[in-house]
Amino acid sequence: MTLSGSVVRMQTFSTTPTIHLNYRPLRGNSVYFIGIGGIGMSALARILITEGCIVRGSDVQSSSLTSGLEKIGARINTMQDGSFMTPETDMVVISAAISEDNPDLKTARKLGIKVVKYSQILGSMMKEKQGIAISGTHGKTTTSAMISAILRRSGCDPTFVIGGEVPDIGGNGYLGTGKFFVAEACEYDGSFLNLAPTVGVITNIEEDHLDYYENIGKIINAFGSFASLVSPEGLLVVNKHDTNVAIAIQRANSRVETYSLDEPSDWRGESVIGGDGVRRFKVYRKNEFFCEMSLKIPGAHNVLNALAATAVCTFLGVDSECIKNALATFGGANRRFQIIGEKNSIKVIDDYAHHPTEIFVTLKAAREMYPDRRIWCVFQPHQFSRTRHLLKGFARSFQFANKVIFADIYASRDSEFDKTSMNSNVLCEYTRDAGVDARHIPQLCDIAGELAVEAKPGDIIITMGAGDVWKLAHDLVSKLL
């Protein structure tokens, strides 16, 4: 059949249900989200509002995401003290970040309201469509967004839930009329094991979330369990460069396709060329030329993400021309090397990188784009426990920056022990020992003041972290002299 000028060979698959939560009865009922301002939670809330649910919720602070939900009918409070919870609530949805001592959750338990995890709702929704679940330590959001953008351009009108706001496709969540459901699959707390995908992706596997998994062996085992969930009639797409992925996919029951740069694989990208902010590369499928592609988002890691998206969408029946055109115009997700503004020839960029590998590849991409310019990196570490576990890796990840400023650590799910066992000054000292010009300025407001004075025309300033460091990027654009 022909959709939007592209040939799409639609396929049908059978899936084995793994979730026992029935999604359909939610429609028309009252659903309460604890932590509704979270990126995934807000996407799911948006979809349920579109479905006709009465959506209410709470979060500790207002944001553009909560404001957007309120505009389409959600009622949201920032008290999160249990006072907004009513017996008329049919279901409460929580993320993995919500602890049992949360007042809203305690009230829901007391009232006997059914409580489910965000990932369980995703899993039940995925059973109704053909699920495409994108997992991995890094690259999930961009790869999910690329797949969604390609499918939308092909006319497939997919449903998607993505861990980032993507202007190209209208945000982080959307209820489509088509048969495909694209979801970012988070490994924390084993959340992705609630999904039932027809197609799966594993971008990479590294040490992270060690407050939950303890060691890399347990992380690989969890990804192995995820691989085993992909339907036997479906496809698992994986990064061939990653040795941990090679172990995990031994448990796969489906067909597996690999992707790589400059080495044999099912999908290979080569002759990566940079220029004018665009990366051009040739794609080969099983050693046969597939097409030539271009990306306007930087970094070799994004070429890998594009190869994964190409493999998935080709399996789903989208033709090469549609894939090529969709990726050529893809602008990326917010907070993924997002250019916030430029003032007096000083460019300010914001990025979500909060793991050593993400920092390294993002700064490397920046250096490739701006080889002769001074690069400042302002990093706000995310979690005391992550900083402690990955301390040496963090210290080695800033080599492509000329100057690094560390803000205080942004706490999330940290225990009192975590908070007393690590601080940004220790990270700063380790980074200096690795040969990087680094210093520690605790507060973001003070960092803004320093940079407003010290940054010179031609400088690049990149703010990084999964906390609220993005506010600094926007503040800087107005303060730079």
Three-state SS for 270? strand
Taking Cα atoms as reference points, which of 175, 201, 185 lies closest to residue 72? 175
> What is the per-residue DSSP string for 441-481?
---HHHHHHHHHHH--TT-EEEEE-SSSTHHHHHHHHHH--
- The values of phi and psi at residue 368, to 5°, are -65, -40
Q: State the burial class of residue 222 (Cβ atoms within 10 Å of its Cβ: 0-12, 13-18, 19+).
A: buried
Which residue in the block uniquely carries the two structure tokens 């031609």? 458
Kindly state the DSSP code that residue 233 receives in the 8-state scheme. Answer: T
User: Which DSSP helix (H) or strand (E) runs through 350?
Assistant: strand 346-351
Give me the active site residues, please.
140-141, 184
Q: State the burial class of residue 159 (Cβ atoms within 10 Å of its Cβ: 0-12, 13-18, 19+).
A: buried
Q: State the burial class of residue 481 (Cβ atoms within 10 Å of its Cβ: 0-12, 13-18, 19+).
A: exposed
Three-state SS for 113? coil
Number of Cβ within a 10 Å radius of residue 478: 10
Cα atoms in the 13 Å half-sphere on the side-chain side of 307: 32
